[in-house]
């Protein structure tokens, strides 16, 4: 929001000015300040009056007018993931005739994820309200009524029984409706996996400048969450399009261009869900008779407990043989025939984030704060080393051998060669590389095209 300049403080002097001159100067200053303020506040008044109604055609129209008529606007996206809920508050600037730019982002995360409240939905409201308060602090009061507020849930809620997920979303919707922001009947929803991957692709290509520059090569995106994992890239080879299985291609319209993307989300192959599968457990089902889940990916001497999706499992390692080879064999069983391999990924630059980043940082493959580049084989080398040390001594994380082995084989199943370079990052230009920016940005772009036929 543009601020009115501060011209300093008037001081009394002994000079005597004619009354008419003083009065004229006073009127002039008041006029200038009123004129500048009204130029800014006119947008607030008109948009605010129109946006008190429910989200519908009127609200769409007022928000579209606000975006096109003013160079600053905001969007609030809640990411309800399997391990936590995060709020992203985005500030955009859009000079007339130009594409928007992101000028600021505020991010805050809370644990656990919404799915943890499946049996006590009332408890979910406190965390949602705490994150809403963050948005109130970051967005000027006059923008509240025209700032869209959206929550999209990912794999954590996709894995819940339908009725439990519905009740959680209804509670969030109640909290949203009581907020001062612009919300509608579809303000909360479960995001399908493809949209998650596409939105993350938009984020990374928007932040790297690929979407703004026609003809510039785009980059691919790898995201490894707790419940699902996504891969998205823009194919340049006709063979990729022809060989892609049903459901692996999707069309995207952005900046007056249409992209045909390869994008797929693998539900159940996120890191936490994969852990459970490797251990031999079943999602959402406690082990009968309280028996241990035994895995060759754990230290032979390990015995402990692990909580996943509100269920506590007793887990233990098993003796015999080389830990990495045994673990790799088990992981291969879990991944067999579940991942589509594409040859073109060898020739596309890829960014990888979420658990790819966290695991690489935890074992020193990249800088924990800055990220960095590595090759796929680095994960394999780290996995073999950690698994070997676990055979004789404990590690601070009992799952580190399992997780690194899983990532190694997952990347190879996607078709990445061992010498393929991946760029691991949490932020680009100090902005989180999650799907949230892409989702809110795609929404705004779609709204502008809807209200401005010339942009279609």
Residues annotated in a binding site for ATP: 226-230
Q: Order of strands across the sheet with 311-317?
A: 293-295, 311-317, 303-308
Closest listed residue to residue 195, CA positions, set 161, 230, 162 = 230
Strands of the 372-375 sheet, one edge to the other: 249-254, 257-267, 228-233, 220-224, 350-354, 421-424, 372-375
DSSP string, 335-394: HTTTS---GGGGGS-EEEEEHHHHHHHHTTSSBTTTBEEEEHHHHHHHHHHHHHHHTTS-
Cα-atom radius of gyration of the chain, to the nearest Å?
26
CA 54, 55, 59, 61 dihedral sign is negative
Neighbours of 114 (CB within 10 A): 29
Q: Indicate the annotated binding residues.
A: 226-230
- Per the CB < 8 A criterion, the answer to whether 160 and 167 are in contact is no
- Give buried/exposed letters for 87-103 (b at 16+ CB in 10 A, else e): bbbbbbebeeeeebebe
Rounded to the nearest angstrom, the gap between the alpha carbon of residue 189 and the centroid of all alpha carbons in its chain is 15
d(C-alpha 418, C-alpha 411), whole Å: 9
Q: Which pair of structure tokens corresponds to residue 90?
A: 């985005």
Instruction: Please answer whether residues 262 and 249 qualify as being in contact, where contact means their C-beta atoms are separated by less than 8 angstroms.
Output: yes
Q: Is 98 a catalytic residue?
A: no
Helices (H), ranges, 103-161: 124-138, 155-158
Half-sphere exposure of 175 (CA within 13 A, CB side): 23
Q: Which of 71, 196, 344, 432 is catalytic?
A: 196
Residues acting as catalytic residues: 196
């Amino acid at each position: 929001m543009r601020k009115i300049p501060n011209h300093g403080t008037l001081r009394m002097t002994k000079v005597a000015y004619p009354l008419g001159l003083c009065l004229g100067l006073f009127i002039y200053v008041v006029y200038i300040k009123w004129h500048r303020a009204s130029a800014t506040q006119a947008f607030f008044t008109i948009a605010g009056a129109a946006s008190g109604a429910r989200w519908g055609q009127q609200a769409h129209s007022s928000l579209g007018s606000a975006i096109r008529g003013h160079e600053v606007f905001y969007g609030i996206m809640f990411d309800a993931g399997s391990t936590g809920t995060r709020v992203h508050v985005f500030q955009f600037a859009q000079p007339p005739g130009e594409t928007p730019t992101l000028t600021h982002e505020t991010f805050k995360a809370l644990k656990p994820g919404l799915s943890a409240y499946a049996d006590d939905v009332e408890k979910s409201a406190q965390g949602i309200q705490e994150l809403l308060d963050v948005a109130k602090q970051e967005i000027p009061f006059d923008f509240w009524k025209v700032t869209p507020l959206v929550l999209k849930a990912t794999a954590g809620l996709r894995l819940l029984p339908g009725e439990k997920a519905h009740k959680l979303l209804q509670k969030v919707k109640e909290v949203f409706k009581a907020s001062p922001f612009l919300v509608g009947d579809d303000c909360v929803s479960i995001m399908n996996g493809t949209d998650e991957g596409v939105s993350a692709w938009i984020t990374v290509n928007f932040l790297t400048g690929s979407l703004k520059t026609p003809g510039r090569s785009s980059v691919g995106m790898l995201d490894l969450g707790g419940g699902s994992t996504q891969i998205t890239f823009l194919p340049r080879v006709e063979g990729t399009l022809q060989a892609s299985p049903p459901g692996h291609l999707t069309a995207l319209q952005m900046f007056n261009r249409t992209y045909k993307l390869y994008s797929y989300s693998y539900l159940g192959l996120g890191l936490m869900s994969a852990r459970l599968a490797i251990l031999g457990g079943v999602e959402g089902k406690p082990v009968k008779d309280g028996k241990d889940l035994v895995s060759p990916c754990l230290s032979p001497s390990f015995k402990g407990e692990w909580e996943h999706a509100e269920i506590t499992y007793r887990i233990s390692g098993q003796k015999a043989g080389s830990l990495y080879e045994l673990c790799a064999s088990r992981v291969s069983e879990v991944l067999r025939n579940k991942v589509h391999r594409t040859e073109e990924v060898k020739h596309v630059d890829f960014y990888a984030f979420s658990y790819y980043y966290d695991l690489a940082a935890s074992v020193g493959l990249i800088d924990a704060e800055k990220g960095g580049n590595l090759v796929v084989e680095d994960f394999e080398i780290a996995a073999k080393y950690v698994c070997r040390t676990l055979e004789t001594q404990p590690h601070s994380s009992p799952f580190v051998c399992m997780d690194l082995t899983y990532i190694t084989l997952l990347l190879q199943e996607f078709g990445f060669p061992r010498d393929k370079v991946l760029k691991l990052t949490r932020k680009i230009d100090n902005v989180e590389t999650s799907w949230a920016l892409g989702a809110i940005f795609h929404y705004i772009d779609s709204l502008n095209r809807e209200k401005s036929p010339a942009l279609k």
